[in-house]
Amino acid sequence: MSKETFGLGSDFFVSPSERDPVKAARDPARPLPKRFYKEAVAGQAEGGYGIFLDGRPVNTPARRPLVAPSLPLAEAIAAEWASQGETIDPATMPLTKLMNTALDGVAAQMDEVEAEVAKYAGSDLICYRAGEPESLAAAQSAVWDPLVGFARDRLGAKLALAEGVMFIEQPQAALDAFAHALCAYVGEGAGAPLRLAALSVMTTLTGSAIIALATALGEIDVAAAWDAANVDEDWQTRAWGADAEAMVRRAARFKEFGAAATLSRLSTPE
């Protein structure tokens, strides 16, 4: 192992959207690496705060220093490494994976990733409502109407709503307002790629750029955001019962969502 870094290859730490962490962890063709360190701590490093395994810094799969802009974020990542048992299981290290994604991928294509997130606002989940049954329509309105209000009042984006799944074109003024709010949230500096990576993951997992940005800006908490993203699924569960495998997949997605929200919060200046 090189003296200059401790880390793992890109086969183990990839974007959550690229590989199912649960499936990867169970794949016998990809055995988990054995833990090779005793202590994992956060500490000062060039450009911020690094993660050190037995005193040696962790790098990303692309050999970039894994450096966080805040000590609390570095401590949270170090805690993932410290909590590993005899093997290192990437499925239990969502913050580490997100940091790798941000530093190795998002940082080099900020404009493209930001455009992809903004694109979701053009067909956002919360804008498409059920006409029936009445109970589902009511459940959607109860959770999504406040988010429509948030987009209007805080972001300046007055969204159009549709009944059913037929595409409705959003007013350009609303899309421009959302794009402006997105850009303002991402900001500049070392934390910008982290915030954008977190927002991208939250948007992909929920199908809603509005839910993602509301979470990032502290308008709603993680639990409320996840409930908002799963109104339809929760209604179906109440009506027909839960599917065990689906619930396992949902729990894995929620873990990724929570990690993204944490990354957003801990990479945002006070």
Bridge partners of 41? Answer: 52
pLDDT of residue 31: 84
- The DSSP code for 188 is S
**In degrees rounded to 5, what are phi and psi of residue 59?**
-110, 165
The pTM of the full predicted model, rounded to 2 decimals, is 0.88
pLDDT of residue 225: 98
pLDDT above 90 covers a percentage of the chain that reads 80
pLDDT at 9 over 60: no
Please state which CATH number belongs to domain 107-266. Answer: 1.10.3580.10
Give the integer Cα–Cα distance in Å for 114 and 116.
5
Give the integer Cα–Cα distance in Å for 89 and 83.
10
Q: What is the pLDDT of residues 119-148, one digit of tens each?
A: 999 999 999 999 999 999 999 999 999 999
pLDDT at 22 over 60: no
pLDDT of residue 13: 52
Two structure tokens written together for 218: 């502290």
Superfamily of domain 21-90: ATP12-like (3.30.2180.10)
Return the H-helix or E-strand segment holding 128.
strand 128-129
Angle between helices 244-266 and 192-206 in degrees, nearest 10: 160
**CA distance readout (Å), 103 to 131, 224, 248:** 43, 29, 29
pLDDT at 12 over 60: no
Tell me the average pLDDT across 227-246: 91
pLDDT of residue 28: 45
Two structure tokens written together for 265: 């919060």
> Which amino acid, one-letter code, is at 255?
K
Domain boundaries, the chain: 21-90, 107-266
For the ranges 15-29, 71-85, 210-224, which has the lowest average pLDDT? 15-29
Helix (H, G, I), strand (E, B) or coil at 40: strand
pLDDT band at 30 (very low <50, low <70, confident <90, very high): low
Tell me the average pLDDT across 187-196: 95
pLDDT at 16 over 80: no
Strands 48-53 and 56-57 turn out to be antiparallel
pLDDT at 17 over 90: no
Give the integer Cα–Cα distance in Å for 153 and 229.
21
pLDDT above 70 covers a percentage of the chain that reads 88
pLDDT at 25 over 70: no
pLDDT of residue 78: 98
pLDDT band at 1 (very low <50, low <70, confident <90, very high): very low
Tell me the average pLDDT across 32-61: 95
Count Cβ atoms below 10 Å from residue 115 Cβ, excluding itself.
12
Q: Is 21-90's fold the same as 107-266's?
A: no
Q: What is the pLDDT of residues 253-270, one digit of tens each?
A: 999 999 999 999 999 776
Two structure tokens written together for 32: 């988990």
